[in-house]
Amino acid sequence: MNHSKPSPLDIQLQVLSALMLRDIRTRFGRTIWGNAVVVLWPTAHVLIMVAIMTVRHMPAPLGESSVLFIFTGMGPMVVFMYLTRKMMEGVTVNKPLLSFPDVKFLDICVSRAVVEILNIAASIVITMLIMVAIGVDPIPKHPETAIFALCGTFFFALGMGFVNANIVTIFPPYMVGYALIIITLYGLSGVFFVPDGMPQELHEIFMWNPLTHAIMCFRSAYYPGYGEDASPLYVMMFGGCLMLIGLFWERVWTRRAL
């Protein structure tokens, strides 16, 4: 009986599937509660920020709902923060698997990215359901703009995740330093404020940050007339450049180092 040899694509898909299953079982365990904890963690992150703003009686710079304002800022921020950090952690945790001939550096990055994208998407849906339960309407007035903004943020985060994965492979302490970068982005990306209210000089500096554009684009779906100077194309182009840098870095340096 003849057995056809699996194609390279079949092997690639089998490797990715195996890595994703291993990632899920390693991080979540074999029970539904483990999965729930990981999926709900980004949701808890958003709710904690909402609670802090509510306790401090901070008025929303846009609209009347502080909950909605924080959600529109934290949505893209959570996408970027978790995806870029988890891709970096995935390479560190799964590095021993690179001893297998069919497992490549990019396989680990892609498998971790897919799992994390699904987790974040589920977290956003759960957060929106909680908002409905407390009487806040989470449905954007322009859904296509919100979806496009999140997709652009995913692409930008994916590019940054590839770069991070390359850096941490060569310099592991970078994982600790990256936490400081995330904290800085919290304060400079417009999660808790609108850049439009800043002096012109500061506004121009903030607009160099692609995450600021991503947040403004996402908020523009909820607040008509806001974010006219935000550019989703800038976010996509920045992410594409990072993706090319990450792929080139992997081929020239990381592959040899591993």
| Dihedral class, residue 57 (left if φ above 0, else alpha if ψ from -120 to 50, else beta) | left
| Six-digit token string for 125 | 């849906």
What is the C-alpha separation between 130 and 191, in angstroms, rounded?
A: 20
Whether residue 165 contacts residue 178, with contact meaning beta carbons closer than 8 Å, is answered with no
Q: Please check the confidence at residue 8 and state whether its pLDDT lies above 50.
A: yes
Q: Tell me the pLDDT band of 34, cut-offs 50, 70 and 90.
A: low
Q: What is the model's pLDDT at position 3?
A: 55
Q: What is the model's pLDDT at position 28?
A: 62
Percent of the chain with pLDDT over 90: 30
Q: What is the model's pLDDT at position 61?
A: 80
Percent of the chain with pLDDT over 70: 93
Q: Give the model confidence (pLDDT) of 99-117 as tens digits.
A: 887 788 888 888 889 988 9
Q: Mean pLDDT, to the nearest integer, of 42-65?
A: 78
Q: What is the model's pLDDT at position 1?
A: 47
Q: What is the model's pLDDT at position 192?
A: 83
**Per-residue H/E/C for the chain:** CCCCCCCHHHHHHHHHHHHHHHHHHHHHCCCHHHHHHHHHHHHHHHHHHHHHHHHCCCCCCCCCCHHHHHHHHHHHHHHHHHHHHHHHHHHHHCHHHHHCCCCCHHHHHHHHHHHHHHHHHHHHHHHHHHHHHCCCCCCCCCHHHHHHHHHHHHHHHHHHHHHHHHHHHHCCCHHHHHHHHHHHHHHHCCCCCCHHHCCHHHHHHHCCCHHHHHHHHHHHCCCCCCCCCCCHHHHHHHHHHHHHHHHHHHHHHHHHHC
Helical pair 32-55 and 8-28, crossing angle rounded to 10 deg: 60
| Six-digit token string for 75 | 């949505």
Q: Tell me the pLDDT band of 45, cut-offs 50, 70 and 90.
A: confident
Q: Give the model confidence (pLDDT) of 15-24 as tens digits.
A: 888 888 887 7
Q: Give the model confidence (pLDDT) of 205-240 as tens digits.
A: 888 999 999 999 999 999 988 888 888 899 999 999
Give the mean pLDDT of the chain: 85
Q: Give the model confidence (pLDDT) of 179-195 as tens digits.
A: 999 989 888 888 888 88
Q: What is the model's pLDDT at position 80?
A: 94
Whether residue 66 contacts residue 58, with contact meaning beta carbons closer than 8 Å, is answered with yes
